[in-house]
A = this chain, B = another copy of it.
């Protein structure tokens, strides 16, 4: 197998090359059945409880691509460092993207993924925006399934924990011109996932200041490209200074509510027209099309108990609704945190109190319905068996 490895000490050749324009579609060139596997000679000890994303399993998946040779055979191998050319454009120009989803161990001990093809499809969208090559989504998912199968002992038997899957796709182009990569590496790592936030508190607090913007029209806010996250850290630490756990990202002159931290956001309220409504900002280019977000919209629309809308929400609408006691609850959604109730928002010097959930709240019901599907207690066509 002619595989140019980015792992360990085999180094990239530093050769000058002409890169022709990409053809429309590049697939993983081999079927997943051709996937090569090299098992780790020594398995790690599995710790009991860990911080999110700090402890990784024994194996990883790597698939290399070059404009001249296309996709190489996928390879499952012992978890190891990457060997990258110091000029590679993932490190200089943020030509990188990722996905995140989880594998859950049900009460029946079987392993389930939750709507993973939606992750594959979003990953393909991010790749297009980042000028990274296309890939066969079904085939990549099959490779991931095989990786999870090999490291299945890492999936905890716990209702509050799971194994997090992190597909990553980076340019390995070893030159400094700002251009479409001629080489790339798609890799997948797995890590233990307990609770995402370090706080014991039930509901989190948000800091909303219009001086920082997460994403903007004509940008990449609807993709999982690295640059969307690095630029958020500075504001995150200013949120800390205000005693808040996450940033509530605003947009535009009218301070539209967009996302919170790395979560989509939902408001359950009585709207201006007196209707009970569950609302979340629309996918207009600056909002990440979250899979938990989509699932919440689909579930609550099926309930048929209140209006469910994708609409713009501004801070002044929220403030007014809080004063008039029209807010029932507010929560963030995402794969890492799932559903996260919001208790406070610090905005223009005011500490806005958001009513807390109770056992009958939408937050609680959604958490139960989603985890019941994820852990296999409710049969669902959203489930993908490993």
Contacts and interface: CB of A to CB of B under 8 A. Distances in A.
Interface string A231-262: 11110110010000000000000000000011
B226 A131 contact: no
B54 A229 contact: no
A282 to B, nearest CB: 18
A337 to B, nearest CB: 11
A212 B11 CA distance: 36
A192 B179 CA distance: 17
A178 interface: yes
A191 B85 CA distance: 13
A94 B92 contact: no
A76 interface: no
Contacts of A94: 94, 96, 225-231
A84 interface: yes
Given A11-B80, A230-B93, A51 B178 contact: no
A148 interface: no
- Integer count of this chain's copies in the complex: 2
Interface stretch (A134-142, A169-177, A296-304): A169-177
A208 to B, nearest CB: 12
A146 interface: no
Contact of A233 (B175, B180, B234): B180
Interface string A87-131: 101111111101000000000000000000000000000001111
Contact of A91 (B9, B16, B90): B90
A38 interface: no
Q: Is the interface of A mostly helix, strand, loop or mixed?
A: loop
Contacts of A216: 213, 216, 219
A11 B81 CA distance: 6
B87 A84 contact: no
A86 B54 CA distance: 12
Interface string A16-45: 110001000000000000000000000000
A294 interface: no
Contact of A79 (B53, B83, B86): B86
Nearest to A209: B218
Contact of A189 (B53, B55, B87, B233): B87
Contacts of A75: none
Given A218-B213, A227-B94, A234 B16 contact: no
A179 B247 CA distance: 13
A189 B92 CA distance: 12
Contacts of A175: 51, 53-54
A217 B210 CA distance: 10
A187 interface: yes
Given A54-B174, A96-B230, A178-B229, 9 more contacts: A16-B47, A79-B86, A81-B86, A82-B83, A91-B170, A91-B226, A92-B168, A94-B94, A176-B191
